[in-house]
Amino acid sequence: MADSTVIKPHGADELKILLLEGKEKEEELKKAETLPKVTLSSRETGDLIMMGIGGFTPLEGFMGHDDWKSVCQDMKMADGTFWPIPVTLSYDEKLDPGTEIALISGETEEIMGTMKVTESYQIDKDFECKHVFTTNEDEHPGVQMVKAQKDYNIAGPVKVLSESYFPTDFGEIYMRPSESRKIFEERGWRTVAALQLRNPMHRSHEYLAKIAAEVSDGIFIHQLVGKLKPGDIPADVRVKCIDTLVENYFVKERVLCGGYPLDMRYAGPREGLLHAVFRQNFGCTHMIIGRDHAGVGDYYGPFDAQKIFFELWDGALECKMLPIDWTFWCYKCGGMASMKTCPHQKEDRLFLSGTMLRKSLSEGGEIPAEFSRPEVLAILREYYANLDEKVEVKLHGAATGEAKKDKK
């Protein structure tokens, strides 16, 4: 790592990889079959895999009480290491310190890993929600996740034994931090900007990526392939859309596509910080933060995720924010623009958002040609045409250009 041109991982000189391989994995799997079993939620499974591949460096396991409380309240672990969102495992009873358990995917029933319990503790779920999501409202999908947790958290170091179905189902898109780092090194990229995606790329996403490409050596289009809320477009469809867009509209030597196995938490500003933490572990020097990053509904102002980066203390995080203003199609400008570059009026602009796109497609509405590339729209129209059951998509202020609250 000393001679590498790639940024160091967060809080460590090297990636903290907890995924076992070879004989060591075989022996731990045999042992796991004899241990008491604890079932993981989808979110917990994704967190475990990220610890396994080094994406959550420097974490060594699920957080204990002191780390949980300090992360919620102060965005740092008990030892002072910056971390913006708790990474915890819940269970319906206390377990004695020293107990060894097998961690089982609730989705596939596969043995995902083992853990040696160091402590069990109860948490104040309202306290966590208020700090992490800034709300306790049950309609918030992240709040729902926390309140659905069991009565106790169990903490301890983990050994990871599987990456679940992600490597097989997503092929080359699914990527470990060691793999992206190697590619950045081989390409000689010293500055790498990450674009977070949970939607197919519409023209605003494309514009963000190309702005970043002008000031970076390369762009890492890094898409979530874990679970989303009902009504969001599934990962396999998004991957197909993004691959098509990159193939036709990007300089291939300047872009890399990857996927990571987390569920969305919809934590807005806090999740933007988490995105930057693990992007640094994947080798990125910058994190693109645009309008309503990782937001949901009207819970966050359109630029709250930018504001929180400016509030960090010196040395908290090496991966820097690349802030970008509202972007839209301007009919008078004849192309994509932002509030910083376009002098025209609201009626001259088409505001683009994933929420608006999903709503129009799900309701069979007309999609303006300026909204997305034709190749992408063709894929999405086919997907929605074959849906047996559609979920109502609600518009919110940041999706329409009418922000409920703007704290910029």
Separation of alpha carbons 85 and 264, rounded Å? 12
Question: Tokens 């799997």 sit at which residue?
Answer: 29
pLDDT digits 0-9 by tens, 109-120: 999 999 999 999
**Predicted local distance difference test score (pLDDT) of residue 359:** 76
Q: What is the mean pLDDT of residues 139-157?
A: 97
pLDDT band of residue 407 (cuts 50, 70, 90) is very low
Among 22-31, 219-228, 394-403, name the one with the lowest average pLDDT.
Answer: 394-403
Separation of alpha carbons 95 and 115, rounded Å? 12
DSSP helix/strand/coil, 92:
coil
Can you spell out the DSSP letters for 231-269?
A: TSPPHHHHHHHHHHHHHHHS-GGGEEEEEE-PPP---TH
Judge whether 33 lies within some domain: yes
**Predicted local distance difference test score (pLDDT) of residue 401:** 53
Separation of alpha carbons 293 and 216, rounded Å? 20
Listed residues 164, 180, 202: the one ending a domain: 164
pLDDT digits 0-9 by tens, 357-388: 777 887 877 888 898 899 999 998 898 888 87
Judge whether 373 lies within some domain: yes
207 and 329: one domain?
Answer: yes
**Predicted local distance difference test score (pLDDT) of residue 299:** 96
361 and 293: one domain?
Answer: yes
pLDDT digits 0-9 by tens, 3-18: 689 999 999 999 999 9
Q: Is 199 part of the annotated catalytic residue set?
A: yes
Task: Name the nearest CA neighbour of 232 among 353, 113, 316.
Answer: 353
| CATH (domain of 156) | 3.10.400.10
Which residue range forms the structural domain that includes residue 156?
22-164
Separation of alpha carbons 394 and 259, rounded Å? 27
Judge whether 276 lies within some domain: yes
Three-class secondary structure assignment of 61-82: EECCHHHHHHHHHHCECCCCCE
- Does the structure show a pLDDT above 70 at 188? yes
186 and 119: one domain?
Answer: no
Listed residues 164, 196, 213: the one ending a domain: 164
- Does the structure show a pLDDT above 80 at 399? no
pLDDT digits 0-9 by tens, 224-234: 998 877 777 88
Q: What is the mean pLDDT of residues 19-34?
A: 98
67 and 101: one domain?
Answer: yes
Listed residues 111, 146, 164: the one ending a domain: 164
Whether the upstream peptide bond of residue 36 has omega within 30° of 0, thus cis, is: no
249 and 121: one domain?
Answer: no
| CATH (domain of 238) | 3.40.50.620
Q: What is the mean pLDDT of residues 171-189?
A: 96
233 and 326: one domain?
Answer: yes
Number of C-beta neighbours around residue 361 at 10 A: 22
Q: Which residues contact 246 (CB under 8 A, 6 or more apart)?
A: 221, 252, 255, 257
**Predicted local distance difference test score (pLDDT) of residue 22:** 98
Judge whether 312 lies within some domain: yes
Active-site residue, from 43, 181, 198, 373? 198
Active-site residue, from 153, 199, 349, 373? 199
**Predicted local distance difference test score (pLDDT) of residue 109:** 97
Judge whether 3 lies within some domain: no
Separation of alpha carbons 260 and 272, rounded Å? 15
Q: Is 198 part of the annotated catalytic residue set?
A: yes
Separation of alpha carbons 207 and 201, rounded Å? 10
Q: Count structural domains, the chain.
A: 2
189 and 295: one domain?
Answer: yes
Judge whether 2 lies within some domain: no
Separation of alpha carbons 233 and 252, rounded Å? 25
- Does the structure show a pLDDT above 90 at 285? yes
Tokens standing for residue 376: 């992408």
Separation of alpha carbons 281 and 340, rounded Å? 32
337 and 207: one domain?
Answer: yes
Judge whether 58 lies within some domain: yes
Above pLDDT 90, what percent of the chain?
79
- Does the structure show a pLDDT above 80 at 354? no
111 and 237: one domain?
Answer: no
- Residues 196, 288: contact at Cβ < 8 Å? yes
Separation of alpha carbons 391 and 388, rounded Å? 10
pTM as predicted: 0.92
End-to-end CA distance of the chain: 38
